[in-house]
């Protein structure tokens, strides 16, 4: 059985290939080599870049350095197929998803992160669909306007539901929803609109309910939506970021939907009341300036390409790493479209390896 598990990882090695991943042939493979190679995220994701020989060597060294630092920091958190999961056999434990018994050992059957909930031990797969938790900030796309509700696609097994009663009305007044509000639902959100909301709860049938009762939630416009693997976005205290130097709002959705758009000031009821008193000329001027300036669009594209590079390399996407990648591209005067080239991917991998190395030395 162990041979079958390892053979399931079998790939063919091609010396002429320009792809920067390393693979195995079927059969017996030393476990140390298996962990060292399969743990590298570019190997797990099948990184496809047209690398030269020099770039391939540099990228390999960067990932080996990252792997050694990761192994020292947390040796049993991440596992690959056929890795043994350390458990206390004297205490009773429950086998969960991604685990099996092999020769008296608890072995992982998928690549992922070991999670423990009381006595339950399971492996959270990296490439799985989004698994919502109450309070998560998510970005979704409206797929249907139904009776008193909108249905949103949020990279979940089912469409999420945003009730009309679970969001702030455009006038900002807290009141009961009327039949007129229901008739005007399409004036708030319609199909294909991008919406930011928060996970409220789960229904008995497994469906997910959202809410948008804060002014920071709602319709997103004048920006770009990126879809990445949800495991790359870690839960943090702040998922809304205002990049003042660029005038851009960055929303890191826990479902892997990331929004980069022009900054919009959050409004409350007081601001709305003041806005009603402005003269008509100001309104007309605002309508005429509804376009997004060229510099703003370039900044949005640069940040979006930085996130794409981090995603391809398999790095966790957070604000600090995004800004470091953007600053690296600006300092080297790399054009926006050139950021997706092979050389910049190698530079970002080397930068991250050096950053983690310095962080480890400071902790010592």
List pLDDT tens digits, range 144-162.
999 999 999 999 989 999 9
- Site of tokens 């590079």: 309
Give tens-digit pLDDT for 237-250: 999 999 999 999 99
Percent of the chain with pLDDT over 70: 77
* Beta strand pairing call for 112-117 and 78-79: antiparallel
What structural domains does the chain harbor?
Answer: 78-127 (2.40.50.100), 128-221 (2.40.50.140), 222-262+294-363 (no CATH)
Please, what is the end-to-end C-alpha distance for the chain in angstroms?
42
Distance CA 255, CA 224 (A): 16
Residue 194: pLDDT band with limits 50, 70, 90 = very high
- The 8-class DSSP code of residue 21 comes to -
Provide the pLDDT for residue 362: 79
- At residue 128, does pLDDT exceed 60? yes
Measured CA to CA, the distance from residue 73 to residue 70 in angstroms comes to: 5
Position 100 pLDDT exceeds 50: yes
* CA–CA separation, 305 and 326 (whole Å): 9
Q: Which long-range contacts (CB under 8 A, 24 or more apart) does 13-19 make?
A: 18/50, 18/51, 19/46, 19/47, 19/48, 19/49, 19/51
Q: What is the mean pLDDT of residues 163-182?
A: 80
- Across residues 195-215, what is the average pLDDT? 90
Q: What percent of the chain has pLDDT over 90?
A: 45
């Amino acid at each position: 059985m162990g041979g079958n598990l390892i053979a399931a990882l079998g790939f063919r090695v091609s010396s002429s290939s320009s792809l920067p991943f390393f693979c195995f042939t079927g059969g017996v493979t030393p476990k140390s080599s298996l962990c060292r190679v399969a743990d590298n995220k570019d190997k797990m994701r099948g990184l496809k870049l047209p690398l030269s020989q020099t770039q391939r060597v540099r990228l390999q060294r960067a990932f080996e350095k990252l792997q050694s630092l990761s192994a020292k920091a947390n040796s049993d958190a991440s596992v690959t197929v056929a890795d043994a999961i350390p458990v206390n056999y004297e205490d009773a434990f429950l086998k969960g998803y991604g685990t099996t018994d092999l020769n008296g050992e608890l072995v992982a059957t998928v690549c992922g992160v070991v999670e423990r909930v009381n006595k339950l031990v399971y492996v959270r797969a990296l490439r799985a669909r989004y698994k919502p938790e109450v309070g998560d900030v998510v970005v979704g796309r409206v797929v249907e306007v139904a009776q008193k509700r909108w249905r949103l696609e949020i990279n979940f097994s089912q469409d999420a539901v945003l009730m009309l009663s679970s969001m702030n009305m455009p006038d900002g007044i807290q009141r009961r929803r009327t039949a007129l509000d229901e008739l005007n639902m399409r004036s708030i959100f319609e199909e294909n609109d991008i919406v930011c909301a928060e996970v409220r709860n789960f229904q008995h049938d497994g469906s997910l309910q959202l809410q948008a009762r804060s002014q920071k939630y709602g319709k997103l416009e004048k920006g770009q939506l990126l879809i990445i693997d949800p495991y790359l976005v870690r839960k943090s205290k702040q998922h809304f970021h205002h990049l003042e130097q660029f005038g851009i709002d960055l929303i890191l959705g826990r479902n892997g939907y990331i929004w980069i758009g022009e900054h919009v000031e959050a409004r409350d009821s007081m601001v709305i009341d003041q806005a009603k008193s402005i003269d008509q000329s100001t309104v007309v001027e605002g309508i005429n300036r509804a376009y997004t300036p060229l510099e703003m669009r370039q900044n949005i594209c640069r940040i979006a390409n930085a996130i794409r590079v981090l995603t391809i390399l398999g790095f966790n996407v957070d604000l600090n790493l995004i800004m470091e990648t953007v600053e690296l591209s600006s300092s080297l005067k790399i054009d926006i479209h050139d950021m997706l080239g092979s050389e910049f991917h190698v530079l970002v991998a080397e930068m991250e390896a050096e950053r983690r190395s310095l962080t480890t030395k400071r902790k010592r």
